Structure 1
Amino acid sequence: FDEVEEIRKRYQVPRNMLYVEITESLLVYEGDVLYQEIERFRQAGYEVWMDDFGSGYSSLNTLKNYSFDEIKIDMAFLSHFTDKSQNIIQAIIRMAKKIGMHTLMEG
């Protein structure tokens, strides 16, 4: 947080023009530490996004336990696009909207 703030101030970039991306896999290994840092960034006015949602580490507990402004759905869903994958993507988007998160489809 301190490093990001220092660089942001040096270049006079407003916080609302920056966002912090946390890869979902990192939450598996560094969850406790990241929880505090995610909250610190969000309280300071940064948007925090979860990157690579659906890349193999997806857990509904992640969405329940952490506050993200946006989830970036992994492009692997598009590599073999089927009716089933389309239904999954639609369900993820509906769920994200219901809990107040934006979505972005990578790829």
Structure 2
Amino acid sequence: MNLRLRLTVCAVALVASSIAYGQSPHYSELANLPFPGGYPATKFVQPLQDEWLFQRAVQVYLWTLPALSVFAMKEGSEQKFGAGYNVLPIFKHRLDAKTLIPHRIRM
């Protein structure tokens, strides 16, 4: 193995280990809550519901990112080229993951 590859592997291992050790004990606490009879203890129902609501909100945020991105591209296209069903911007090169399209959303 060359030196550059070895350094990269070491850096990735270091970062991965520091992430694992640096995590909050929050999820460990949730995982170790008592579930007598397969159900959460009464005093732990609210923290579990709060965590469920938080996770649901994060998932909704992640699911809306693609839709918001397409909407922002539509708004930027309308500002630059005009609005209408017959206006279609054509790009010189194919779009890929590195393509940047600057836009402003009207408020």
TM-score band (shorter)? under 0.3
Structure showing the higher helix proportion among its residues: 2
TM-score using structure 2 length: 0.27
Which of the pair has more CA radius of gyration?
2
* Structure with greater strand percent: 1
Report which structure shows greater RCO (CA 8 Å, sep ≥6). Answer: 1
